[in-house]
């Protein structure tokens, strides 16, 4: 059921929070274009379920999760909502330079009653706690994402980057600049998409 929350296996309380989030996004979207208007009918599968699958790839109860270029909150806000029940000790940091989008993110955090910190800053200048997980969705090519993550991740932390059908090309491009091994997890919501998981990495 692409247009509803029925396919997502979560508790009633978490589902209610996600419904509040979805309602706020539909209300705000005409003003600040949080997601493409054409994807709104597929909000649950295209954005919420797509974001939620990252939680299953993360280490158990990661203390700090930093989401870069959070925009409309994918995946960071979805992760914060899941963490509120599954790992209350996890602190999610949402990094977004657009102040209007930050106002939306802060509204959802407040209305859903979840713990997350919104950073209205550019990625280059933000200094949240070092992350156990760094995520970013539809933000930048993989070589640039690693440059951002380099200063934000704990040495033993991981990166989780959802990518589309160009995933293998982006990995090849990144390996010209970075030394790393990665795992490619097929997306559960989009046939040609994948999530790239990267542990240790260093510049070539």
| CA–CA separation, 89 and 29 (whole Å) | 31
Domain boundaries, the chain: 12-203
User: Is the torsion defined by CA of 105, 107, 111, 113 positive or negative?
Assistant: positive
Q: Who's near 79: CB < 8 A, 6+ residues apart?
A: 51, 52, 54, 55, 65, 67, 92, 135
75 CB neighbour count, 10 Å cutoff: 26
pLDDT of residue 147: 97
**Are the C-beta atoms of 145 and 139 separated by less than 8 Å?**
yes
**Are the C-beta atoms of 104 and 32 separated by less than 8 Å?**
yes
Going residue by residue through the chain, which has 204 residues, state the pLDDT in tens, using 9 for 90 and above. 334 555 688 999 999 999 999 999 999 999 999 999 999 898 999 999 999 999 999 999 999 999 999 999 999 999 999 999 999 999 999 999 999 999 999 999 999 999 999 999 999 999 999 999 999 999 999 999 999 999 999 999 999 999 999 999 999 999 999 999 999 999 999 999 999 999 999 999
Kind and range of the H or E element at 95? strand 91-95
Q: CATH assignment of 12-203? A: 3.40.50.150
Confidence (pTM): 0.95
| CA–CA separation, 24 and 197 (whole Å) | 30
pLDDT of residue 9: 85
Class of residue 16 by CB neighbours under 10 A (exposed 0-12, middle 13-18, buried 19+) = middle
């Amino acid at each position: 059921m692409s247009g509803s929350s029925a396919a997502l296996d979560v508790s009633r309380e978490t589902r209610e929070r996600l419904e509040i989030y979805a309602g706020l996004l539909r209300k705000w979207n005409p003003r600040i274009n949080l997601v493409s208007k054409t994807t709104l009918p597929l909000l649950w599968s295209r954005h919420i379920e797509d974001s939620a699958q990252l939680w299953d790839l993360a280490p158990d109860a990661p203390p700090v999760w930093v989401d870069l270029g959070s925009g409309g909150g994918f995946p960071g806000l979805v992760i914060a909502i899941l963490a509120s029940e599954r790992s209350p000790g996890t602190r999610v940091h949402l990094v977004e330079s657009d102040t209007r989008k930050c106002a939306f993110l802060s509204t959802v955090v407040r209305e859903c009653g979840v713990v997350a910190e919104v950073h209205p800053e550019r990625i280059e200048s933000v200094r949240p706690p070092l992350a156990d997980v760094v995520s970013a969705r539809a933000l930048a090519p993989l070589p640039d994402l690693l440059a951002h993550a380099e200063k934000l991740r704990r040495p033993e932390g991981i990166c989780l980057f959802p990518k589309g059908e160009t995933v293998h090309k982006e990995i090849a491009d990144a390996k010209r600049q970075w030394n790393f091994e990665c795992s490619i997890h097929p997306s559960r919501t989009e046939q040609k998409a994948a999530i790239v998981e990267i542990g240790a990495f260093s510049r070539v």
